[in-house]
Amino acid sequence: METVVSGIRSTGKLHLGNYYGAIQNFVKMQHEYHCFFFIADYHSLTTHPTPQNLHENVKHVLVEYLAAGIDPEKATIYLQSDVPEVIELYLFLNMNAYLGELERSTSFKDKVRAQPNNVNAGLLTYPVLMAADILIHRATKVPVGKDQEQHLEMARTFGNRFNRMYNVDYFPEPYAFSFSDKLVKVPGLDGKGKMGKSEGEANAVYLSDTPEIIRKKVMRAVSDSGPTEPNQQKPEAIQNLFDLMKIVSSEDTYQHFDQLYNSCQIRYGDFKKQLAEDMIIATQPVRERIQEIASDTNYLHKVATFGAEKARESARKTLTAVREFIGFKRF
Ligand code: AMP
């Protein structure tokens, strides 16, 4: 059976980008593959969270994984920091990861632009840590959104480089995976790029947002003064809202508003109202379970402990082999 690994950074609550880009695939894949889903708390350190924030954010992700339907009996759910073998592999991979290729990564360049005062080494080697997360279980499939494609390419490069260097055929090539024909990119509400935690509160709709908050955010989403010519190309902000509708609404609803746009009859108020209601419906089952699971500390403890054991067992096997390839020997 093929092995699957994926994780989400614990830098806050999960949003619709995480849900449609990654988690929906996690939930489906757990029935068909040998799955490891982790909470990337080491990765979250690049933004320097306070100890309290760190813990709260890990809890958000753990709770929301479970609320979305990941079953800890089927898939292994664990905290990245419970598996220190990942860090050892990260160190080994770092020895063959080169400054030039790390600096060329699009996400690194974006981060340098976004946080010029905190360009730390962890940020630069972020793709190496991600490669270690994947290679530690020798996974072949990685359910992620479109934004992670380049990181997967780097994970293949690092795995292949290790194989060549030690003349082994140990790490298989991991590929990004989605059940839909293309990798998903969920746009944000600010009229520009993707939905993300670092793009500001108003840009993202969180799985835990109440219906009132969702309505407020969507009604304030960036739009324009409306089309002036029939069948004109939609500007980015409007296209983004249509892309969101494509994800959460029925095909009929989408077509209805698309036709209104094309005939210049669209009223953005109605369009946004519909979009908000469909987002509320799409997230309702998850939202309801979040409350319930968050208060069950006993259950969360059990899930994390059980997952840590299973993940470490798999990681230890890899590390034992890797240390031997490299030449570490007992005296
Ligand atoms: P991150 O929140 O950056 O740790 O991303 C965690 C997972 O969610 C990764 O698989 C991302 O590809 C996915 N993801 C995050 N934002 C989006 C988005 N706007 N559209 C699609 N997938 C996303």
DSSP string across 21-76 = IIIHHHHHHTTTSEEEEEEETTGGGGG---HHHHHHHHHHHHHHHHHHT--TTTSE
How confident is the prediction for the chain on average, in pLDDT?
Answer: 96
Q: Does the CB atom of residue 184 touch ligand 1 within 6 A? A: yes
| pLDDT given at position 199 | 72
On whether residue 189 sits in a domain, the answer given is no
> Residue 32 belongs to a domain with what CATH number?
3.40.50.620
Q: Is 196 in the pocket of ligand 1 (CB under 6 A)?
A: yes
Reply yes or no on whether the pLDDT at 130 is more than 90. yes
140/31 same-domain check: yes
* pLDDT for the residue numbered 257: 98
26 and 141 fall within a common domain: yes
Q: pLDDT value at position 221? A: 95
Under the banding of pLDDT at 50, 70 and 90, the label for residue 13 is: very high
287, 304: one domain: no
d(CA 65, CA 77): 8
Q: Which domain covers residue 276, as residue numbers? A: 197-291
Question: 311 C-alpha vs ligand 1 centroid, how far in Å?
Answer: 22
| Size (the chain), residues | 331
With a 6 Å cutoff on the Cβ, whether 102 touches ligand 1 is no
CA 298 to chain centre: 26
Interval 185-216: pLDDT, tens: 999 999 888 998 877 778 999 999 999 999 99
What are the pLDDT digits (tens) for 141-183? 999 999 999 999 999 999 999 999 999 999 999 999 999 889 9
Residues 29 and 158 in one domain: yes
Say if residue 39 is in the same domain as residue 113: yes
Contact 193, 170 (CB under 8 A): no
Closest residue by CA, ligand 1 atom 12: 145
Whether the per-residue pLDDT at 122 is higher than 80: the answer is yes
CATH assignment at residue 229: 1.10.240.10
Q: How far apart are CA 17 and CA 187, in angstroms?
A: 8
User: Which residues are catalytic, by number?
Assistant: 111, 194, 197
Do 225 and 121 have their domain in common?
no
Share of the chain above pLDDT 90, in %: 95
Q: Is 242 part of any domain?
A: yes
Count: domains in the chain: 2
The predicted-structure confidence for 286-322, as pLDDT tens digits, reads as follows: 999 999 999 999 999 999 999 999 999 999 999 999 9
Rounded mean pLDDT of 235-249? 97
Q: Is 195 in the pocket of ligand 1 (CB under 6 A)?
A: yes
In a domain, 83, yes or no: yes
- What is the secondary structure of 112-138 as a DSSP string? HHH-TT---HHHHTHHHHHHHHHHTTT
